[in-house]
Amino acid sequence: MGLLTALEGGHGDAADALRIDGRPLSWEQLLGAATAVADRVAGAPALAVLAGPTAETVVATVGGLLAGVPVVPLPPDSGPKERAHILRDSGATLLALPVGASAPDGIEPLPVELTARSSSTYAEPGVEGTAFVLYTSGTTGAPKGAVIRRGAVAADLDALAAAWQWTAEDTLVHGLPLFHVHGLVLGVLGALRTGSRLVHTGRPTPGAYAKAGGSLYFGVPTVWSRIAADEPSARALATARLLVSGSAPLPTPVFDRIAALTGQAPIERYGMTESLITVSTRADGERRPGSVGLPLDGVRTRLVAEDGGPVPPDGETVGELQVAGPTLFSGYLNRPDADAESWTADGWFRTGDVATIGPDGFHRIVGRASVDLIKSGGYRIGAGEVEAALRDHPAVADAAVIGAPDQDLGQAVVAFVIADGAVTGDQLSAFVAERLSVHKRPRRVVLVDELPRNAMGKVLKKQLLELS
């Protein structure tokens, strides 16, 4: 069985099996156009794809996979320096893009013709072959290319299909960027493996989600927050089977409002570029606010303390989350130094995230160890716990918590808060102290109009550190 089983037949061939920003494609049309791309890229060391929310992105990606050429998604809004680094580091010699778009100097453009057709056939590459080189956000330096095996993609999508009861009877709807794991690997290849219909809305607006008529929806917290604020659009999703949130923690007030308006609680999942999705709530399991559920089939997780010892699964003690299993990447391209830092001696991947695991196995992600594990006055404080407490205040729309350098405490808990009304920072600090341990209260609260975020809705906390 190949990676893209829907293209092998047996799932029907509706004229709009895929609809990408209003452009319909049948499986047959996708296969014909993608095979034409494969004919042009076969043998190339790598294929860069200008990964906008377009049908051309999907066709080019599938074409590279058919030919067994590693696909390198290029964010359409990347700056010249980032773009040049990705193209140079990946070794891509071709850049797939829409007809009429221009390529930067130094790389050959490959215009993608949606009407092109080819009847060539390609042998299915082995599971150890590279499917993608996905570049990380580069928050600690130049982006690193994570090498993702075809077998890792297949294992992850099959495990998610089992966890979410995802079948060819579903219609998947999302409007997420197509240069990340969430939007491209899950949101496109997931449909091409399960055979479900796919509707990509172009932009993830509440109105577009409401009109799509899906049974399965993907979104990030920013998307779900906007839907929760648009009652008619939210109520239109009441006929959906599953609402999935990921890429960042879903605030409990948004979780509760979505549940109230749609009649079902959303599910959350956890993953990284390097690991794909490893932990998720099940479709038929408990949907607990603030929890990402249980490891997927075949995935193992553990928490490790700073001294390397184990962390008890008591739901309270935080530790670094490490994972092992078939969904993990092969390593960083051209970065043996980063590989050495990322893997333990016994073969576990260090995620760099801190989490708790309860006695029932449910995982709660606290945040990044580098910015979300705050060491204040001898205490270890998870920023995510304080953020969740702040969001419980009726005047708070959102919050981000960091540990700012402090001569007395080592780090002081500082909260950046978007709030309505006349609430003060002192009131919010007292609100947290009433719900959590007093030492976890923010020592300073900064009221802001917005929080800096990346394309997937994650707060850029290093920018907040600079403001503190």
Give the residue numbers spanning the domain of 454: 377-467
Choose the final residue of a domain: 171, 187, 203.
187
Which of residues 136 and 171 earns the better pLDDT score? 171
161 in a domain, yes or no?
A: yes
Quick: pLDDT tens for 321-357.
Answer: 999 999 999 999 999 999 999 999 999 999 999 899 9
Q: What is the reported pLDDT for 438?
A: 84
Quick: pLDDT tens for 137-175.
Answer: 654 567 899 999 999 999 999 999 999 999 999 999 999
Q: What is the reported pLDDT for 2?
A: 82
41 in a domain, yes or no?
A: yes
Cα separation, 28 vs 13, in Å, equals 7
* Count of structural domains within the chain: 2
172 in a domain, yes or no?
A: yes
Whether 7 shows a pLDDT value over 90: the answer reads no
pLDDT interval class at 205 (50, 70, 90): very high
Quick: pLDDT tens for 245-270.
Answer: 998 788 888 999 999 999 999 999 99
Quick: pLDDT tens for 295-323.
Answer: 999 999 999 998 888 999 999 888 999 99
Question: Among the listed ranges 207-211, 260-264, 373-377, which one has the minimum average pLDDT value?
Answer: 373-377
Cα separation, 74 vs 82, in Å, equals 9
CB distance 266 to 255 below 8 Å: yes
For position 453, which CATH number holds?
3.30.300.30
276-298 average pLDDT score: 96
236 in a domain, yes or no?
A: no
> What's the chain look like in SS3?
CCCCHHHHCCCCCCCCCEEECCEEECHHHHHHHHHHHHHHHCCCCCEEEECCCCHHHHHHHHHHHHHCCCEEEECCCCCHHHHHHHHHHHCCCEEEEECCCCCCCCCEEEEECCCCCCCCCCCCCCCCCEEEEEECCCCCCCCCEEEEEHHHHHHHHHHHHHHHCCCCCCEEEECCCCCCHHHHHHHHHHHHHHCCEEEECCCCCHHHHHHHCCCEEEECHHHHHHHHCCHHHHHHHHHCCEEEECCCCCCHHHHHHHHHHHCCCCEEEEEECCCEEEEECCCCCCCCCCCCEEECCCCEEEEECCCCCECCCCCCCCEEEEEECCCCCCEECCCHHHHHHHECCCCCEEEEEEEEECCCCCEEEEEEHHHHEEEECCEEEEHHHHHHHHHCCCCEEEEEEEEEEECCCEEEEEEEEEECCCCCHHHHHHHHHHHCCHHHCCCEEEECCCCCECCCCCECHHHHHHHC
Quick: pLDDT tens for 378-397.
Answer: 667 878 878 888 988 999 98
Query: Structure pTM?
Result: 0.84
For position 141, which CATH number holds?
3.40.50.12780
pLDDT interval class at 12 (50, 70, 90): low
Which residue is listed with tokens 């570049």? 135
Choose the final residue of a domain: 187, 220, 235.
187
Whether 408 shows a pLDDT value over 60: the answer reads yes
Whether 453 shows a pLDDT value over 90: the answer reads no
Which of residues 94 and 7 earns the better pLDDT score? 94
Choose the final residue of a domain: 166, 187, 208.
187
357 in a domain, yes or no?
A: no
pLDDT interval class at 9 (50, 70, 90): confident
Quick: pLDDT tens for 16-52.
Answer: 899 998 999 999 999 999 999 999 999 999 999 999 9
Question: Among the listed ranges 90-94, 266-270, 400-404, 434-438, which one has the minimum average pLDDT value?
Answer: 434-438
Q: Which range, 53-67, 89-103, 429-443, is most confident? A: 53-67
Q: Please provide the average confidence, as pLDDT, over all residues in the chain.
A: 91
95-122 average pLDDT score: 92
pLDDT interval class at 77 (50, 70, 90): confident
306 in a domain, yes or no?
A: no
pLDDT interval class at 372 (50, 70, 90): confident
Whether 454 shows a pLDDT value over 80: the answer reads no
Q: What is the reported pLDDT for 318?
A: 87
317 in a domain, yes or no?
A: no
Q: What is the reported pLDDT for 137?
A: 66
442 in a domain, yes or no?
A: yes
pLDDT interval class at 1 (50, 70, 90): low
